[in-house]
Amino acid sequence: MTIVTGTDTAKTRRQLDVGGSSIAYYSIDAATEAGLGDFSRLPASLKVVLENLLRFEDNGRTVSVDDIKAFAEWAVQGGQNPREIAYRPARVLMQDFTGVPAVVDLAAMRDGIKSRGGDAQKINPLNPVDLVIDHSVMIDEFGNPRAFQRNVELEYERNLERYTFLKWGQNAFNNFRVVPPGTGICHQVNLEYLAQTVWTDKDQTGAEVAYPDTLVGTDSHTTMVNGLAVLGWGVGGIEAEAAMLGQPISMLIPEVVGFKITGALREGVTATDLVLKVVQMLRKHGVVGKFVEFYGEGLDHMPLADRATIANMAPEYGATCGFFPIDDETLRYLRQTGREETRIALVEAYAKQNGFWRTQDYAPVYTSTLELDQGTVVPAISGPKRPQDHVALTDSAFEFAKYISGTRKLAEPTRESLKRWNGEGGAPAEGELPGHHEGYKSGAVDGETYQLHDGSIVIASITSCTNTSNPYVLMAAGLVARKARALGLTRKPWVKTSLAPGSQVVAEYLEAANLQEDLDALGFNLVGFGCTTCIGNSGPLQPEISKSINENDLVAVSVLSGNRNFEGRISPDVRANYLASPPLVVAYAIAGDMNIDLTTEPLAHTAEGKPVFLKDLWPSSKEVAELVDTIVTREMFQTKYADVFKGDERWQAVEITDSETYDWPASSTYIQNPPYFQGMSAEKGEIHNIHGARVLALLGDMITTDHISPAGSFKPTTPAGVYLTERQVAPKDFNSYGSRRGNHEIMMRGTFANIRIKNEMLDGVEGGFSKGPDGEQAAIYDAAMAYKAAGIPLVVIGGIEYGAGSSRDWAAKGTNLLGVKAVIAESFERIHRSNLVGMGVVPFEFTGGDNRKTLDLKGDEVISIDGLEGDFKPLSLVPCTIKYADGTEKVIQLKARVDTEVEIEYLENGGVLHYVLRNLAKA
């Protein structure tokens, strides 16, 4: 990327001397001296955005002096000034599930611009793009030494078409690099290697300029790198593509919530316990669309790995990002992970000179604040359905019993009835749960017969970027395994165990500490380097276990060290999913049962019958810290990342053709030319009112992007399964929705197809179903296509926090391709709202206390929305007419969640990619 600065920026440009060299930078103090305002009390996270505007100020074409002054006004106005600004991140990060459709779109745009007589080379990333292949490995093989090798073999067999396409993209596009499979998870690779905290590049004069490292990523957990003071967040693939092509991100100056950290963690409490508490607090506080910045003396006791764990889960607490300013710990981590000493010196000098350094008296203006003493944090898990459902470990068994009683529609348990449920204190009373000890035989596995019941843990997985980036919790997991192994304990035979580190460095230090053999002994063999269980790639359970669960309608459980536990995400056989620290994952694998209170009951018994409790296995904080300090070295990172883009012999053997445009294989079921640009006019159109629309889905609260566009496996009976079967693809080769995101035909059929989604138009029906024009139940895809054939527009209606979760662009793309013109909800999560606009779907919010329940919506109404034509402005209130089945009508007001003027232009063009393509074609 070349920095092209405007004419007014010279007044804020200064020189910084570092180690005998001089480098240019854009000075916030200089902006104050130039009379633009007092920025001294801005949070560091907002100073990053301010610097971005100083660097790109261009006499009002995209950034004006008034935009810069607005940041000073923000501080004066108590942390609020929602002015629209144009922000340009330095780079883009992708993973392969979201990256494949992004590269598909770029390839289609090259076709589109060529068909209009333009130059295909105009379609090239202007900003650096790194794509890390991490979402494709599945856990087919586990619990044995060959697991890693076999899973990698299957990964290449299933995904060779996709990998060939990505390797073509790396060769065809400028500024586009691919990190091959088997390297690690994109956010951990970013944290450990790609991120620099302070970036450098040349401007149009050839001078070197230093500026804050910033990015957007096509995965919601891009926020992880904010732990390293790199401002980044997740966006949909369509928004990322626009950023890649030089389009600034239109955003409002955000509110910033200050989260003060004091004290230190108590003995036995992990960073995972801390982040689960933070998620609960911030969800309750309400931070959707806001920055969260962490400050306070407690950061002096918080290693960067813990900060990254907290920053990683910003999507779970709903924030745009969770930012940690630069301090001594930032420098220590950069040094430990092998960054160049010249870079580390630049980071320190730049941060101190330009006001980004966290001093002991750091106390900026915040929109609002809250505080947590780390000493009050207790061991915990979260579940069974949402990351914010925080459960203290002491209450885990009791809360699970309450969940089961609700699921079974039985009396809510008491502490006494819980004892009876666990086989103590006599028989259960009438209406109580029958007792988990009264289970169901599942048959023999490895020659052993055992019983499954509600609460049997069938998946225990150390996985995901959230925790496998943290050597403290990984070493703790290994030490729990070591102590358990010494006592002769192992996992229960019905538990599918796995270890999927976020980078090769993790495998290196577990081996160096001799902990991997202890983990292996308990079934936590290396299964691959990737997201695995956290993204739904948990692989199949053993057939007899799956059969027992489904035949007996059991509530089986998974425990994972991940960040997501939404319904239907982890495994189609598992209904209750819990997030936990890696050492707790090991403990739960030994216990095998969520009904056991790990704080008071034995996890297991030795061969001699001696009970073993969690406290017998749990390592001390000192034990863990000493191991990390001794084993984890700078040289490990330097060695493992030396050839990060080279890949193994399999990747090197992938053959590609050297071509400017992609030769779309007609028979491919993975990669297809999408229909977005077919028949596109040279000029933009107009936004139209929506008349006579029918309801495709009537949905409840917290509908996640997993509900809208699932990533996991699917069955032959689903529309996607039928599509593949008709093309002679065997069910064993279906792979997953996530891996098929380069084929719009499959993804359309997978939209709203989550097995746990509940369309309230249908009584008690789970799964992706609706009613067609004939009023009969049908798969949502089939119903949508019938409406489209009849020329009838569609709307979707939802509750609060619609679109929570992953930055999944296919949740918006699929919605668009099904013929949905508008989504009406009580509130939206940030990324999905933006994605809907980017795909030409208008998001609306109910107003005046209206919602689907107060309006008594059944799904058979006819919806018309006016006020979108002519002088339609951002955040307009528009009339919506609801015609009920009995002929009565009601007019309500909706708020159009089209937040900026630029988004109006996107809708006029039919979406952000159409907007960019038209502009490039004109140029």
Classify the C-alpha dihedral 570-571-577-579 as positive or negative: negative
Judge whether 836 lies within some domain: yes
Q: Do 146 and 292 fall within a single domain?
A: yes
Helix (H, G, I), strand (E, B) or coil at 370: strand
Greater model confidence, 18 or 239: 18
Task: Note the pLDDT of residue 275.
Answer: 94
Q: How far apart are CA 207 and CA 142, in angstroms?
A: 53
Q: Dihedral through CA 391, CA 393, CA 398, CA 401, nearest 10?
A: 70
CATH code of the domain containing 869: 3.20.19.10
Q: Which two tokens stand for residue 648?
A: 């193994």
Residue-number span of the structural domain to which 324 is assigned = 91-376
**Is the pLDDT assigned to residue 429 strictly greater than 90?**
no
Q: Do 801 and 874 fall within a single domain?
A: yes
**Is the pLDDT assigned to residue 512 strictly greater than 90?**
yes
**Is the pLDDT assigned to residue 490 strictly greater than 60?**
yes
Q: Do 137 and 273 fall within a single domain?
A: yes
Determine the average pLDDT of the residues in 382-389.
91
Q: How far apart are CA 281 and CA 276, in angstroms?
A: 9
> 681 phi and psi, to 5 degrees?
-75, 165
Task: Note the pLDDT of residue 7.
Answer: 42
**Is the pLDDT assigned to residue 61 strictly greater than 90?**
no
pLDDT tens digits, one per residue of 321-352: 999 999 999 999 999 999 999 999 999 999 99
Could you give the percent of the chain with pLDDT greater than 90?
74
Which residues share a beta bridge with 492? Answer: none
pLDDT tens digits, one per residue of 387-425: 889 999 999 999 998 999 888 887 788 877 777 766 666
Confidence of residue 431 (pLDDT cuts 50, 70, 90): low
Q: Do 694 and 735 fall within a single domain?
A: no
Domain boundary among 335, 356, 376: 376
**Is the pLDDT assigned to residue 60 strictly greater than 60?**
no
Contacts of 179 (CB under 8 A, 6+ apart): 130, 131, 132, 133, 186, 189, 644, 645
Greater model confidence, 709 or 466: 709
Q: How far apart are CA 213 and CA 95, in angstroms?
A: 19
CA 281 remoteness from chain centre = 19
Q: Which two tokens stand for residue 628?
A: 């990390």
Q: Which helix (H) or strand (E) holds 316?
A: helix 314-317
Judge whether 763 lies within some domain: no
Domain boundary among 376, 395, 415: 376
Would residue 169 be called left, alpha or beta, if left means φ above 0 and alpha means ψ between -120 and 50 degrees? alpha
Give the residue among 350, 433, 331, 470 at the shortest CA–CA distance from 47: 350
- C-alpha distance from residue 433 to each of 420, 421, 601 (Å): 9, 6, 20
Asked which of 114-118, 353-357, 628-632, 766-770 is least confident by mean pLDDT, the reply is 114-118
pLDDT tens digits, one per residue of 435-483: 554 545 565 566 677 789 899 999 999 998 888 889 999 999 999 999 9
Sheet with 21-26, side-by-side order of all strands: 13-18, 21-26, 208-212, 198-202
**Is the pLDDT assigned to residue 519 strictly greater than 90?**
yes
Q: How far apart are CA 127 and CA 2, in angstroms?
A: 9
Task: Note the pLDDT of residue 9.
Answer: 52
Which residues share a beta bridge with 233? Answer: 216
Determine the average pLDDT of the residues in 692-714.
93
Give ∠ CA 480-482-486 in degrees, rounded to 5.
120
Q: How far apart are CA 192 and CA 194, in angstroms?
A: 7
**Is the pLDDT assigned to residue 671 strictly greater than 70?**
yes
Say if CB 742 and CB 159 are below 8 A apart. no
Contacts of 171 (CB under 8 A, 6+ apart): 656, 658
Quote the mean pLDDT of the chain. Answer: 91
Judge whether 865 lies within some domain: yes
Q: Which two tokens stand for residue 126?
A: 């202007």
> 627 phi and psi, to 5 degrees?
-65, -45
Task: Note the pLDDT of residue 713.
Answer: 85
How buried is 828 (Cβ within 10 angstroms: 0-12 exposed, 13-18 middle, 19+ buried)? Answer: buried
Contacts of 280 (CB under 8 A, 6+ apart): 382, 388, 390
pLDDT tens digits, one per residue of 897-918: 998 888 999 999 999 888 888 8
> 414 phi and psi, to 5 degrees?
-110, 175
Q: Do 301 and 442 fall within a single domain?
A: no
Confidence of residue 115 (pLDDT cuts 50, 70, 90): confident
Domain count along the chain: 4
Say if CB 201 and CB 2 are below 8 A apart. yes
Judge whether 473 lies within some domain: yes
Classify the C-alpha dihedral 187-189-194-198 as positive or negative: positive
Judge whether 524 lies within some domain: yes
Classify the C-alpha dihedral 357-362-366-370 as positive or negative: positive
Contacts of 214 (CB under 8 A, 6+ apart): 48, 52, 89, 90, 91, 199, 230, 231, 232
Task: Note the pLDDT of residue 398.
Answer: 92
Say if CB 292 and CB 329 are below 8 A apart. no
Confidence of residue 2 (pLDDT cuts 50, 70, 90): very low
Task: Note the pLDDT of residue 6.
Answer: 45
**Is the pLDDT assigned to residue 233 strictly greater than 90?**
yes
Say if CB 618 and CB 473 are below 8 A apart. no
Greater model confidence, 410 or 892: 892
Determine the average pLDDT of the residues in 240-260.
90
Give ∠ CA 712-534-515 in degrees, rounded to 5.
135
Say if CB 106 and CB 742 are below 8 A apart. no
Classify the C-alpha dihedral 814-815-820-821 as positive or negative: negative
Angle, in degrees to the nearest 10, between helices 304-312 and 328-336? 100
**Is the pLDDT assigned to residue 62 strictly greater than 90?**
no
Q: Which two tokens stand for residue 241?
A: 């593509």
Determine the average pLDDT of the residues in 478-507.
96
Which residues share a beta bridge with 258? Answer: 293, 369
Give the residue among 583, 733, 567 at the shortest CA–CA distance from 271: 583
- C-alpha distance from residue 516 to each of 59, 501, 519, 614 (Å): 59, 12, 5, 20
Q: How far apart are CA 839 and CA 837, in angstroms?
A: 5
Confidence of residue 712 (pLDDT cuts 50, 70, 90): confident
Q: What is the per-residue DSSP string for 707-760?
A: HHS--S---TTSHHHHHHHHTT--GGG---TGGGTT-HHHHHHHTT--TT-B-T
What's the length of the chain? Answer: 923
Q: Which helix (H) or strand (E) holds 260?
A: strand 256-262
**Is the pLDDT assigned to residue 195 strictly greater than 50?**
yes
Bond prior to 879 in cis (omega within 30° of 0):
no
Judge whether 199 lies within some domain: yes
Give the residue among 260, 330, 323 at the shortest CA–CA distance from 293: 323
How buried is 63 (Cβ within 10 angstroms: 0-12 exposed, 13-18 middle, 19+ buried)? Answer: buried
Half-sphere exposure of 376 (CA within 13 A, CB side): 8
Q: Do 238 and 330 fall within a single domain?
A: yes
CATH code of the domain containing 161: 3.30.499.10
Q: Do 450 and 569 fall within a single domain?
A: yes
pLDDT tens digits, one per residue of 628-653: 999 999 999 999 999 999 999 999 99
Task: Note the pLDDT of residue 435.
Answer: 55
The one-character DSSP state at 357 is: B
Q: Do 698 and 721 fall within a single domain?
A: no
Give ∠ CA 815-819-823 in degrees, rounded to 5.
55
Q: Do 170 and 319 fall within a single domain?
A: yes
Determine the average pLDDT of the residues in 533-561.
90
Half-sphere exposure of 634 (CA within 13 A, CB side): 10
Q: Do 96 and 167 fall within a single domain?
A: yes
Task: Note the pLDDT of residue 4.
Answer: 43
How buried is 27 (Cβ within 10 angstroms: 0-12 exposed, 13-18 middle, 19+ buried)? Answer: buried
Could you give the percent of the chain with pLDDT greater than 70?
95
The owner of tokens 């009438």 is 430
Confidence of residue 574 (pLDDT cuts 50, 70, 90): very high
pLDDT tens digits, one per residue of 7-17: 455 689 999 99
Confidence of residue 625 (pLDDT cuts 50, 70, 90): very high
Q: Dihedral through CA 117, CA 118, CA 119, CA 122, nearest 10?
A: -160
Q: Which helix (H) or strand (E) holds 199?
A: strand 198-202
Judge whether 796 lies within some domain: yes
Domain boundary among 619, 650, 667: 619
Contacts of 546 (CB under 8 A, 6+ apart): 540, 573
Task: Note the pLDDT of residue 10.
Answer: 66
Q: Do 702 and 714 fall within a single domain?
A: no
Helix (H, G, I), strand (E, B) or coil at 546: helix
| pTM given for the model | 0.86
Determine the average pLDDT of the residues in 727-747.
92
Q: How far apart are CA 659 and CA 664, in angstroms?
A: 12
Judge whether 332 lies within some domain: yes
Q: Do 348 and 479 fall within a single domain?
A: no
Confidence of residue 88 (pLDDT cuts 50, 70, 90): very high
